[in-house]
Amino acid sequence: MMKTSLLRQAAASRVALVARPAQVAFRASSAALALSRPSRNVAAVYRFTPSLLRLYSSESAAEQLSTDAAPGPISRFEDLSRLNVHEHIVRAITQDMKYETMTDVQTMTIRPALLGKDVVAQAKTGTGKTLAFLVPVIQRIIDADPDLARPSRGRKSCDNIRAIVMSPTRELAEQIGVEARRLCKGTGVIVQTAVGGTQKNMMLRKTRIEGCHLMVATPGRLHDLLSDPSSGIAAPNLAALVLDEADRMLEVGFKLELENILTLLPDRSSVPRQTLLYSATLPKNVVGVARQFINPTNFEFVQTVKADEVPTHERVPQFIVPCRGFENVAPTLLELIRREGSSAGQPIKAIVFLPTTAAVITYSRMFRSLRYDDRSIPRVYEIHSRLAQGQRSRSADEFRQASSAILFSSDVSARGMDFPNVTHVIQMHLPRDRDTYIHRIGRTGRAGKEGKAYLLAADIEIPAARSRLPGLPIQRCTDLESASIDVSKASTLPETFIQIQQASDKVGYELKQEAYRAFLVGAFSEVDTRELVTECNNMAKYTWGMEEPPAVSPSTARLVGVSAGLRIADIPAPRKPHGGSYGGGSYGGGGDRRDDFERMERVAQSESRRGGRKPPATF
């Protein structure tokens, strides 16, 4: 009897595993939702482990099965009380944040995480992963020290941090910190944020006065604090470690730093520690690397994206605009922004991604100058690592608040950033890889909202775009006039070209020179180098208004690999932002193999097999 009921619950839970972001869910009726989210989109990878079954059996089955469409496990935030989540946390979610219904990833991970299991979770962008890991982490801090259920006035300590959340970028860490603080309102749990580019001494003073139970950090600053005994910051009883954007954090470049940090944390064999790994993308490298982070006897692997399902949202249409040459790309952007801003009837709030920092600076200056003469262009913001941290935070905050604006961005904001109501994500030139493309377009269409994604790429980039972006529903968009004009033949250029050229006058020579160099070196490895030089020269001439191609140094010319078409001269070496000692790493293997590991392996293998066999690009 019990067994049948559990099976029915399992079946019911599968029915409910529908992409259903919270904000849509409580506005639309459940009938409408059932219609709008057909069951073939259901992504059900869910295992009933013994511990979970025990928990299910201890609950009222009748309550969970009140209707056929009953959501099975906890699916409403108010029901978290039944899992003994503190009322202050539940209230923060349901009353302050105004969320009612959980998303799949929240339904599927909060309970096992509350039980102390390790979790590896993949869920689409904008489906509430942050809340999914913060709730159990904060609750377990309270479980371990019930005094923290309410604000305490006792002595504050910063040498007994209970949980650490790590993020690959500073703004994302700040954003997670803000959300964590909202959740902790009314409790005694103290959240601190530790990121680079901020005043360490200020942060330390604040942390010593206020204390710290949950630290949200970027790797460099965290390592700095933990390795410095005089900081007073310590985590001898660390109970939880979260890697947000886990696949990114485990990439070469971050992984070594991560391992250094691990050596500064208590050994898991003496201090049991829960590890939570979350991301929208889960390439196979995570599987090999996750092995050394995860407890193989007590962990849950949750995917709300099926292995063969497109990891982007159906409601966000994706377009590629083939541009005749590099010189057509910026005018096409201008035309697109004008068109989408007026025709759609709603003001445009767009993020424009570019492959290099120099290009981000160049184009944000150009569009700021355009806006000076044409107020129909929305306000322009920029964000990239060469900005002072105060500026970066200000850009992010102001863009967050804006109802209409354009944010020119490097990949700092490709992942995790939650800017509300972004209407368009526009990528100029190729994204570095498929996952970057997926995370970038994930800045729109969040929490059930609509959005559009455009990729502006020159004709010579299209073959590389096809090979980098297989298996994605990208359609060709050919109705932008600026994209197809042949500037060498046209007797009169469209207005967009004229305006872009005028705006280029406001950009300094050195910056254009630097952007030119950055375009040439490295970012388009699949593109024939001689053709790339021709394209960059055309861009310099026709859209940046330069009489002749900017000079490059002999060493740059060597890097490019050809000299034809380049103007080589002895110029100062390109400036390098201060370099750290981030380096490569290697991962070891071995260890136990349990069911979830095997499943992760299978997913990884099928993923790598599909690597060559993903449905070919359709554009």
| Residues at the contact surface with DNA, assessed by CB under 7 A | 168-171, 195-198, 200, 218-224, 248, 251, 253-254, 257, 355-358, 384-386, 410-412, 432, 517-518, 521-523, 525, 559, 574, 578-582
> Closest CB to DNA among 15 and 523?
523
Tokens of 606: 């099928």
> Closest CB to DNA among 55 and 521?
521
**Minimum distance, C-beta of residue 360 to DNA, in the bound complex (Å):** 8
> Closest CB to DNA among 111 and 517?
517
The CA-atom distances, in angstroms, between 33 and each of 395, 433, 494 are 36, 33, 45
Return the sign of the alpha-carbon dihedral for residues 471, 473, 476, 477: negative
Give the per-residue SS3 of 449-494: CCCEEEEEEEHHHHHHHHHHCCCCCEEECCCCHHHHCCCCCCCCCC
Which value, in Å, is the radius of gyration of the alpha carbons in the chain? 25
**Minimum distance, C-beta of residue 484 to DNA, in the bound complex (Å):** 28
**Minimum distance, C-beta of residue 463 to DNA, in the bound complex (Å):** 17
Q: In what order do the strands lie in the sheet with 405-409?
A: 379-383, 405-409, 349-353, 424-428, 452-458, 318-323, 474-476
**Minimum distance, C-beta of residue 264 to DNA, in the bound complex (Å):** 11
**Minimum distance, C-beta of residue 132 to DNA, in the bound complex (Å):** 23
The CA-atom distances, in angstroms, between 527 and each of 324, 402, 459, 519, 591 are 15, 38, 11, 12, 42
> Closest CB to DNA among 64 and 395?
395
> Closest CB to DNA among 171 and 340?
171
> Closest CB to DNA among 218 and 538?
218
**Minimum distance, C-beta of residue 419 to DNA, in the bound complex (Å):** 16
Strands 474-476 and 318-323: parallel
**Minimum distance, C-beta of residue 315 to DNA, in the bound complex (Å):** 26
> Closest CB to DNA among 42 and 521?
521
Residue 19's contacts (CB-CB under 8 Å, 6 or more residues apart) are 37, 41, 43, 103, 104, 124, 127, 304, 313
Name the β-bridge partners of 112. Answer: none
CA–CA separation, 158 and 608 (whole Å): 44
**Minimum distance, C-beta of residue 436 to DNA, in the bound complex (Å):** 7
CA–CA separation, 248 and 242 (whole Å): 13
Q: Rounded to the nearest 5°, which phi and psi values hold at 318?
A: -120, 130
Tokens of 261: 């940090």
Neighbours of 521 (CB within 10 A): 16
> Closest CB to DNA among 44 and 441?
441
